[in-house]
A and B are shown apart, each in its own frame.
Chain A
């Protein structure tokens, strides 16, 4: 707690008769009645935020933390390597292979854990990339409001958005080859169009503020205005959008992998895992656990999507200032 707070304490202790004396004193700039607001450290803010978070958001945060933990420490946590093949394909769930093995004899549990790193990691990088492109161009377009650059960018984005993105991604991936780098770039570019739209829309409200004009009058360059004047003021909606976009990217990658043009074997990935073991579902009447095997990666995808959405909902709720 810093000095602001002690001021407040003082103010509260003053009885009204003392206030009356105080009130009749002359004017001083530093003593003007301002908004009573104490500043907190970042840690205090985070703690206060968590304490007031609804249970759904806490659930979401917990799930995301566990996923992140598995993704980061996959090498230590997985019992076997992600491409390690045993000569026992479709092994049942037992002590050696907790969730059995797949069609090539790879341990499903290990691949699930590595899949967290690959699928989530690639989705994260892709989303980050999409935000860099879309956010940067969106704010630039807003600064250039209705100029030629804004029109060029906005119309190009409209054209890109007119084409169904999954089909477009499929075409591009088969054109350029389904490498991880291509996957990241193509999905990032396609998704950046959505980010562009929202970044431009929220920036337009900030661009008209006097402080942006003041920065322009000072002679600031575009990057400064974008980075220091506008970006900090549009962070809350962008962060919320980031969570949402991450889910979509993640699902797109899983879908592409399921179709065979996403993350390529032997890299473990939840989408392709569902596809590869999908046949097992037919054995549900003979061996329920075997039929569960394709459900595990699907459930991992579903759980993360739900968790991220819970957190995003909470964040949107907070940043928009909506009350119930």
Chain B
């Protein structure tokens, strides 16, 4: 594929008309995508945004003429550079994929083959499609690694997938997609699994390389702020239909639809902080390590005031989840103690009394794995009622219904198993399970990070309402600053197992910041489409100055 026979920028590259895609479940076909049109010009980046289940990934794959197992392309036309992919035989479509259309998947870690080196996987499609010779392809791959600002670009390709970080892996995957110089790249939530500081670097690399080679791209995400940095035009999907289509700047400035506006609503929740000296839980100078390895927590001290929210922030590996494990007793600290209402808690879980266990409940990041797939909502929420409160029969069911109403679900959910609920609904059931114990403290470990913006907002509002009604104390572990702003009174910033900064929200979120807090805060994408450009320029000058 040489550059000469590529069209000019602005020509229509991909035109999908009235696409209908069916998914098979329950012995019949359901429409997942219901007549969506997509027009993409060369060199243009389209953001595809919507909550999960909106059909955005399915539509993205359809742009390659591909339907995943259990789905079928029912009707419509997919004109890619003059040929209709709906009518093209599979063998011809396969020749297109990995040469003229490429795909970057959400989870790079799951998409690489752990048995081969990165560079072998990067150049595989180029060699298979006979676009370049093996030597040329490798040379080009190293150049792409350099363009994507991977460290040590000449040798990083010799490593295996587990030897590089998640953000680096995602960039290698971008290099793999870019290697045949495709006309179109489909990015399917490429940064969703990364934390903010890494996300910025990956976004910047992706945007630069897409611009450099004038490649058209479809960028699928549920984060509007991310898409604002990447896309020229944005398409909002819900229930398989288009809600709104507009270019990025005009959509951000003036969204036409209520639903579009609600997509960035999580950023609109604000909580007024309250100062309190009534400490319910004090983590007092604890060290902790997993058997034999180096310290994961180093002299961590955290004060948790009663009825308020302490947010623990930091990137992955900073020890924030380990702190939660120490508080719950799953990982007894090797030094220091945990004081609950002024009295020390036994360090190990097995030494704690039922009352002590009842008072501290936990909500997990992945509601999927936090609930037994074989139990119904009745069992899941009912068990703490039986176990802690000794409620049985009618009394138990009455309380169960109250809890289900409290989490804004209805009676029809009571006999469902987790697989029959959406992500947000599952997380609500987990909240109800924690509430059922009548706890004083709830530890929320990244409870919203696996959810879409709009669902996040619902969950955060629910948590805030419950706090007001029952005076709950939250320890909120997160890496998302928008969430922190929305829910916390106090903030603890952690880095490499140490508390870097601790204080009221207003103090932490206003300058002057320690270096790390500054990096963390400045990495949070904003709705402004110029944000990334501005940030990169600023960091460059700061670097030059420093």
Binding site for B on A (CB under 8 A): 3-4, 8, 11-12, 16, 19-20, 22-30, 32-39, 209-211, 213-214, 216-220, 228-229, 232-233
Contacts and interface: CB of A to CB of B under 8 A. Distances in A.
17 contacts: A8-B26, A12-B30, A19-B239, A24-B243, A24-B258, A28-B408, A29-B424, A30-B408, A30-B413, A32-B51, A33-B422, A34-B420, A37-B25, A209-B369, A216-B349, A219-B387, A232-B372
B243 A23 contact: yes
Given A16-B241, A34-B420, 6 more contacts: A19-B34, A29-B428, A30-B408, A36-B30, A217-B330, A217-B361
A214 B379 CA distance: 14
Given A24-B259, A29-B428, A209-B369, A19 B240 contact: yes
Contact of A23 (B238, B362, B384, B455): B238
B383 A217 contact: no
Contacts of B454: 27
Nearest to A323: B69
B374 A32 contact: no
B420 A37 contact: yes
A217 B348 CA distance: 11
A200 to B, nearest CB: 19
A32 B425 contact: yes
Given A23-B243, A29-B428, A36 B238 contact: no
Given A11-B30, A24-B243, A33 B53 contact: yes
A187 B495 CA distance: 57
A24 B455 contact: no
B424 A233 contact: no
B222 interface: no
B35 interface: yes
A222 to B, nearest CB: 11
A309 B375 CA distance: 30
Contacts of B52: 33
B328 A229 contact: no
A24 B364 CA distance: 31
B370 to A, nearest CB: 4
Contacts of B364: 210, 214
A233 B373 contact: yes
A265 to B, nearest CB: 46
A55 to B, nearest CB: 21
B420 A218 contact: no
Interface in B24-66: 25-26, 30-31, 34-35, 51-54
B409 interface: yes
A29 B412 contact: no
- Interface magnitude class on chain B: 35 or more
Contacts of B419: 35, 37
Contacts of B410: 30
A217 B54 contact: no
Nearest to B26: A38
Interface string B355-394: 0010001101010011111110000000110011000000
Contacts of B53: 32-34
B261 to A, nearest CB: 10
Interface in B69-111: none
Contacts of B352: 219
Contact of B425 (A12, A34, A38, A218): A34
Given A33-B54, A211-B369, A233-B373, A218 B357 contact: yes
Instruction: Determine chain A's interface SS by DSSP, over half rule.
Output: helix
Nearest to B51: A33
Contact of B328 (A12, A23, A217): A217
Given A3-B412, A211-B372, A214-B364, A39 B420 contact: yes
Given A35-B419, A35-B420, A214-B364, A29 B241 contact: no
Contacts of A16: 34-35, 240-241
Given A11-B30, A23-B238, A219 B357 contact: yes
B384 A29 contact: no
Given A29-B408, A29-B409, A35 B241 contact: no
Nearest to A220: B387
Given A35-B422, A39-B420, A22 B354 contact: no
A283 B220 CA distance: 79
A23 B35 CA distance: 14
A205 to B, nearest CB: 11
Contacts of B422: 32-35
Contact of A36 (B26, B361, B413, B428): B26
Question: 6 tightest A-B contacts by CB?
Answer: A33-B53, A34-B422, A232-B374, A23-B238, A210-B370, A32-B422
A23 B30 contact: no
A160 B437 CA distance: 45
Contacts of B308: none
A22 B241 CA distance: 10
A35 B423 CA distance: 9
B369 A37 contact: no
Contacts of A3: 412
Contact of A8 (B30, B35, B370, B375): B30
Nearest to B415: A39
A27 B415 CA distance: 23
A37 B417 CA distance: 10
Most buried by A among B328, B349, B383: B383
A32 B408 contact: no
B458 A217 contact: no
Contacts of A209: 369, 372
Nearest to B408: A29
Interface in B248-281: 257-259, 262
B479 interface: no
Contacts of B34: 16, 19
